[in-house]
Amino acid sequence: MSDTVQTKRDGAILEVTLARPKANAIDAATSRAMGEVFAGFRDDPNLRVAILRGAGEKFFCAGWDLEAAADGEAYDADYGAGGFGGITELPNLNKPVIAAVNGFAVGGGFELALAADLVVAADHAEFFLPEVFVGVLADAAALHLPRRLPMAVAMEMLLTGRRLSAAEAMRWGLVNRVAAAAQVMDSARAMAADIVNAAPLAVAAVKEVARATGHLGITGSYALMRSGKLPVYQAMLHSEDAREGPRAFAEKRRPVWRGR
């Protein structure tokens, strides 16, 4: 584990803290370390949910480390198998990641929030993309924002650096919850606990199906789901947990999930 990427396990929940004062900017080495952490999270059967936060109260993450860039680190440097920040391109990540955005989410930091499945933001948080003003493109944001926001709003953010407050980001559906700064982690942990109470394979299947069908229409999506080509979905359908859930409901008790 890198000093700049700190982890804490709480049962089935992994908390990941990006700690690079003053702004939690990410250079290539930090990105690779984050990728190792999230790949380990993906592959650990005892972990169910990850919460990503930035150290301090001002910045969640300032994105690409421009000081490293000024020293010669290329924009297309080796950021690791998980892509920038460890999760923007990590394959087969079928476990939820919650971004606890406790400050500014700038550039690549905003892209980390977009790569997360759920976002809890501090009420003072802001989201913006300054890349065009330093001569580059916010790759992941250019791909995801036009799919997540009205085109006019997405293009304004990408082309002008327009800032979204936490409240406005929530109105547009980019943020799930807004909390006072001191309550952000409590809110993220409560959300994580809700997920941990659900059946592991069902949660994984949600992510697999959403990822695999996002570019398809409803008919094509159903066809893919019925094709047998989604292994997690298939495993869920034929799992012990799929039988345990209805049985526990009928017996008026809490289900005991086995993840198989």
Catalytic: which of 15, 111, 126, 208? 111
User: Residue range 205-218: average pLDDT?
Assistant: 94
Q: Is the per-residue pLDDT at 1 higher than 60?
A: no
- The pLDDT, as a whole number, for residue 72 is 74
Tell me the pLDDT tens digit for each residue of 55-84: 998 999 998 887 877 877 777 778 898 999
- The pLDDT, as a whole number, for residue 158 is 96
pTM higher than the cut 0.75 = yes
User: Residue range 168-176: average pLDDT?
Assistant: 96
Rounded Cα–Cα distance for residues 201 and 101 (Å):
27
Rounded Cα–Cα distance for residues 39 and 32 (Å):
10
Catalytic: which of 15, 126, 131, 208? 131
**111 has catalytic annotation:** yes
If one compares 179 and 260, the residue with the highest pLDDT of the two is 179
Which token pair is 35? Answer: 């990728």
Rounded Cα–Cα distance for residues 99 and 114 (Å):
9
If one compares 22 and 230, the residue with the highest pLDDT of the two is 230
Rounded Cα–Cα distance for residues 92 and 212 (Å):
11
Model confidence at 48, in pLDDT bands (50, 70, 90)? very high
**36 has catalytic annotation:** no
Question: Helices (DSSP H) in 84-239: which residue ranges?
Answer: 108-115, 139-148, 151-160, 166-171, 184-196, 200-213, 218-226, 231-237
Model confidence at 146, in pLDDT bands (50, 70, 90)? very high
Averaged pLDDT of the chain: 93
Tell me the pLDDT tens digit for each residue of 160-169: 999 999 999 9
Model confidence at 2, in pLDDT bands (50, 70, 90)? low
> How many other CB atoms are found less than 10 A from the CB of residue 209?
18
> How many other CB atoms are found less than 10 A from the CB of residue 160?
13
User: Residue range 110-132: average pLDDT?
Assistant: 96
Pairing of strands 177-179, 118-122: parallel
- The pLDDT, as a whole number, for residue 70 is 81
